[in-house]
Chain A
Amino acid sequence: MKAKRKVITIFLVLFLLATLTTPALAVTYKDVEGEFMCTCGCGKTMTACEDSECSVKRGLRSTVQGLVDSGKSRAEIIDVMRKNYGDTILATPIKQGFNWVAYVTPFLLVIAGGIGILFIVRGWVKEQDDDSRNDENSDESKKGDKKNDKKYSDKLNQELDDIRWY
């Protein structure tokens, strides 16, 4: 058992090392274009709106390219674009203030739902346990052959394991 745990720990450490050691590179235009919406009214990001078909996109592209060429970081580029065009230029709500609600709510609901399911299922299991205990205490049950019950119960479980769902 200890050996198993060690192997799993090594795997996890390797996984984290492998995934967290991506080298940091300078920002390129490609890295940031998806952060912004095209303002031509197409409702698409700058990545999706095609240069060859949209003059507005070409203008935005040269603005972003200029910011990239000036050596600005990702955060600085986003900040400049936001100041110039307003929050609607950003393809995702910036993570501050009320906007956090957008990011957090779905996960909170899933977590709450998960906890809810655990409680509900635990209730079902408990009810079942209580019912079983009552059955065991009844006279009729006491008369039964417990060994046989166990045997049939095991067999039923085994069959349910094997057959599962048809």
Chain B
Amino acid sequence: MTAQIGYFSLVAAMLVGIYATVMPIVGLKLKRKDIIVSGERAAISVAGLMLASTGALLYAFLSRDFSIKYVYEYSNRALSTIYTISSWWAGNQGSLLMWAVFLSIYAAIAILLNRHKNRDMMPYVTTILSALILFFTALIVFMANPFVKMPYIPADGQGLNPMLHNPGMYMHPPATYLGYVGFAIPFAFAMAALLSGKLGDMWIRTTRRWAIWGWFWLTVGNLVGAWWAYYTLGWGGFWGWDPVESASFMPWLVGTAYLHSVMIQEKKGMLKIWNMALITITFSLTIYGTLITRSGIINSVHTFSQSGLGPYLMFMLLSVMFLGFGLILYRLPMLKTENELDSIVSRESAFLFNNLILLGIAFMVLWGVTFPFISEVVTGNKITVGPPFYNQMAVPLGLALLFLMGFCPLIAWRRASVANLQRNFIYPLSSAFAGFFVLELIGIRKPWAIAAFVLVIFVVSTIILEFYRGTKARHKMTDEDILTAFINLIWRNKRRYGGYIVHIGIVLIFVAIAGGPFKTEKNVTLNKGAATTIGDYKIVYNQPIQWQDKEKTVLAASMTVFKDGKKETNVTPRKELYSQEQQPWTRVAIKSNLKEDLYIILTGVEQNGTAGFKIIINPLMEWMWIAGFVITFGTIIAYWPDPAEKRRLAMVYARQGALDEG
């Protein structure tokens, strides 16, 4: 019964989706508002049907309904409730359903929020979003149905892949999908603006929060993915330049460029074509990410088995690009703006360079993924483009980006005078030079790491300076005490200062990455009670321990960590053998502090209790995860509703309404 409810909800969503796709355009052509509204209501009800289908799947998982093949393949009775829920997105069918259900909910929210606004654009928005949902729903119904029944009812399921038994599983896939799908809304509004000819900045203002939302979840998805990969042995560390990692990094880069360049359009009405192109590329890249995960063309830890969806997703990718760039070309004369700047040295041009570097990195990644195919076609020679290539190429571009992150906030809009530059740069540059001397004194000799740390100091100084100057000015103007002035400064300019806090988070990621070259490691074999030292640590191997639970047998090494002669903690690196797997899974033990991570891998245990270990010190890694919290905090501030912005937007809507009526 559950399978029937789930499947028929999907089929109903597909049929109602056809109505939701067609009717808004029909209503527009016939100038019938009631038909448009009917189409919008249909789109909202698609979300309800998709939720019903998802609810049915979750119920099937939780009630251990192994008569459904997907439930049988991705769960078993021993699986805890939280991992049973996460089995929803463990396979191709379920994760595709997640894509579609998120998109349908977003579409419903966007339609509800705009039922009295942007009425010229909304029929197009509804049609585009409904068409996207329809595509994914049709894929699920015809190609990836998660409700297919088993020919018999098995007593138990096959269980969840042991690699997915990690807290990262709760967060990484849903966050990444929330991000991917989040960019669908700005894309739909951009296309609606092009179709309706409303080419001002209204579509940008309306979707600003959606773009931040998408960007934020993509950031969280990538960071949680990095955390998961770091804690799971064999995934190449926190960032292995796996093709699918790259596929979610590219829309993040282009989306970041978009978030910056729309500010220029909002402020000066410039870069209309560029912003349309950026959102088209960003959304296309989210489809590209979905394509390479499911097409089987690339071998990756993320890929689902050959699903046969490749050609369909390729069709969708090409359709999105064709629609986006086709409409841009069609509206080109209307998109041309009168661009004017007072000086080459201005924040506008700095933002353009920031866009260039972000797109340069995105291109480099795409180039790395595709170059082996190009090389084989041109030379007939198969080659590999692996992580060292990306690292080599990304370092100079990443440093250039870091520099611009410090440079941009310091130069004025329109024209930066020499006095302005001197006044703004003297302290950050002095701090950077002072930092360089300190690095010299403590004996840091890795050129790229030095450059990264110096630039980190430069950027942080510029941000501190911005906060300091703003607080000081506010304190003088309003007689507020320093703390109140500081809080009000942020609260009254949420977007700007939230953005700076996000920048601090990004800088912290650079700090963690710059620690990489200072990694140390050793391989040791220890008898029971023996000790080894690495860095400031002494690690004693006490004894092997073994236990068993419902799902697995665990073989662990009990170890005590001492630092500077004092006991720090006990750790148990381990190997886990799951009942349905032949190969044991290695779980690392990590002891973290702000300076470094002690990372211990149990490589093997002999009959006599002697054990082999790989012990690594990863400097500054903790900053990577702290960055996630800082970015979250900054995004919440930038996202928080701003009454002043609301008033401004209401005025624009009122003016637009008056113009339309007039």
Please list the residues of chain A having a beta carbon within 8 angstroms of any beta carbon in chain B: 11, 14-15, 18-22, 30, 34-35, 37, 41-45, 47-53, 86-93, 97-99, 101-103, 105-107, 109-110, 113-114, 117-118, 120-122, 124-125, 127-128, 131, 157, 160-162, 164-166
Q: For B432, give the chain A residue with the smallest CB separation.
A: A11
- Minimum Cβ distance to chain A for residue B371 (Å): 5
Residues in chain B near residue A131, CB distance under 8 A: 340
Known: A43-B242, A157-B412. 14 other contacts (CB 8 A): A22-B445, A35-B388, A52-B612, A87-B384, A88-B382, A88-B384, A107-B393, A109-B360, A110-B356, A110-B397, A114-B356, A125-B343, A125-B344, A161-B417
In the docked arrangement, what's the CA distance between A106 and B415, Å? 30
Q: Which of B397, B440, B473 is in CB contact (< 8 Å) with A162? A: B473
In the docked arrangement, what's the CA distance between A97 and B267, Å? 47
Cβ–Cβ contact B357 & A98, under 8 A: no
Q: Which of A45, A52, A92 is in CB contact (< 8 Å) with B586? A: A52
Cβ–Cβ contact A45 & B353, under 8 A: no
B381 at the interface (CB under 8 A from A): yes
A-B contact pairs, 21 of them (CB 8 A): A11-B433, A44-B236, A52-B603, A53-B233, A53-B583, A89-B384, A92-B386, A92-B389, A92-B392, A99-B375, A101-B371, A117-B352, A127-B339, A128-B342, A157-B412, A157-B417, A160-B412, A164-B347, A165-B347, A165-B413, A166-B496
Q: Which of B347, B383, B602 is in CB contact (< 8 Å) with A93? A: B383
Given contacts A106-B393, A121-B344, A131-B340, contact A14 B357 (CB under 8 A): no
- Minimum Cβ distance to chain A for residue B235 (Å): 7
Q: Which of B235, B240, B375, B450 is in CB contact (< 8 Å) with A102? A: B375
B378 at the interface (CB under 8 A from A): yes
Residues in chain A near residue B353, CB distance under 8 A: 114, 117
Contact digits for B362-391, partner A, Cβ 8 Å, 1 yes 0 no: 011001100100110011011111111100
Within 8 A of A (CB), among B316-340: 338-340
Interface of A is mostly: helix
Q: For A154, give the chain B residue with the smallest CB separation.
A: B417
Contact digits for B251-282, partner A, Cβ 8 Å, 1 yes 0 no: 00000000000010001000000000000000
Residues in chain A near residue B235, CB distance under 8 A: 48
Contact digits for B416-457, partner A, Cβ 8 Å, 1 yes 0 no: 010010000000000001001000100001110010000000
Cβ–Cβ contact A124 & B236, under 8 A: no
Q: Which of B342, B344, B388, B521 is in CB contact (< 8 Å) with A92? A: B388
In the docked arrangement, what's the CA distance between A117 and B345, Å? 12
Please list the residues of chain B having a beta carbon within 8 angstroms of any beta carbon in chain A: 233-237, 240, 242, 263, 267, 299-300, 338-344, 347-349, 352-353, 356-357, 359-360, 363-364, 367-368, 371, 374-375, 378-379, 381-389, 392-393, 396-397, 412-415, 417, 420, 433, 436, 440, 445-447, 450, 473, 493, 495-496, 521, 583, 586, 601-604, 612, 614
In the docked arrangement, what's the CA distance between A18 and B436, Å? 10
Q: For A30, give the chain B residue with the smallest CB separation.
A: B521
Cβ–Cβ contact A127 & B493, under 8 A: no
In the docked arrangement, what's the CA distance between A111 and B209, Å? 33
Residues in chain A near residue B338, CB distance under 8 A: 127
Residues in chain B near residue A50, CB distance under 8 A: 233-234, 586, 601, 603
Cβ–Cβ contact B385 & A166, under 8 A: no
Q: For B414, give the chain A residue with the smallest CB separation.
A: A160
Cβ–Cβ contact B384 & A127, under 8 A: no
Cβ–Cβ contact B357 & A110, under 8 A: yes
In the docked arrangement, what's the CA distance between A44 and B232, Å? 14
Cβ–Cβ contact B236 & A45, under 8 A: yes
Cβ–Cβ contact B385 & A43, under 8 A: no
In the docked arrangement, what's the CA distance between A50 and B446, Å? 27
Cβ–Cβ contact A165 & B436, under 8 A: no
In the docked arrangement, what's the CA distance between A75 and B383, Å? 18
Residues in chain B near residue A105, CB distance under 8 A: 367
Residues in chain B near residue A121, CB distance under 8 A: 341, 344, 348-349, 352
Residues in chain A near residue B388, CB distance under 8 A: 34-35, 45, 91-92
Q: Which 6 A-B pairs have the closest CB atoms?
A: A48-B236, A91-B386, A52-B603, A19-B447, A106-B364, A110-B360
In the docked arrangement, what's the CA distance between A41 and B414, Å? 54
Q: For A125, give the chain B residue with the smallest CB separation.
A: B341
Residues in chain B near residue A22, CB distance under 8 A: 445-446
Q: For B229, give the chain A residue with the smallest CB separation.
A: A48
Residues in chain A near residue B445, CB distance under 8 A: 18-19, 21-22
Residues in chain B near residue A114, CB distance under 8 A: 353, 356
Q: Which of B341, B375, B384, B417 is in CB contact (< 8 Å) with A98? A: B375
- Minimum Cβ distance to chain B for residue A134 (Å): 13
In the docked arrangement, what's the CA distance between A120 and B601, Å? 54
Cβ–Cβ contact B363 & A51, under 8 A: no
Cβ–Cβ contact B233 & A102, under 8 A: no
Given contacts A14-B440, A19-B445, contact A45 B386 (CB under 8 A): yes
Given contacts A48-B237, A106-B363, A118-B344, contact A93 B450 (CB under 8 A): no
Residues in chain A near residue B378, CB distance under 8 A: 98
In the docked arrangement, what's the CA distance between A48 and B299, Å? 16
Q: Which of A18, A45, A97, A127 is in CB contact (< 8 Å) with B387? A: A45
Q: Which of B234, B352, B389, B601 is in CB contact (< 8 Å) with A48? A: B234
In the docked arrangement, what's the CA distance between A124 and B346, Å? 12
Q: For A18, give the chain B residue with the smallest CB separation.
A: B440
Cβ–Cβ contact A98 & B379, under 8 A: yes
Given contacts A114-B356, A165-B413, contact A102 B381 (CB under 8 A): no
Cβ–Cβ contact A93 & B389, under 8 A: yes
- Minimum Cβ distance to chain B for residue A95 (Å): 10
Cβ–Cβ contact B300 & A93, under 8 A: no
Given contacts A102-B375, A117-B349, contact A161 B412 (CB under 8 A): yes
- Minimum Cβ distance to chain A for residue B535 (Å): 16
Q: For B473, give the chain A residue with the smallest CB separation.
A: A162
Residues in chain B near residue A14, CB distance under 8 A: 440
In the docked arrangement, what's the CA distance between A44 and B301, Å? 10
Cβ–Cβ contact A48 & B240, under 8 A: yes
Residues in chain A near residue B236, CB distance under 8 A: 44-45, 47-48
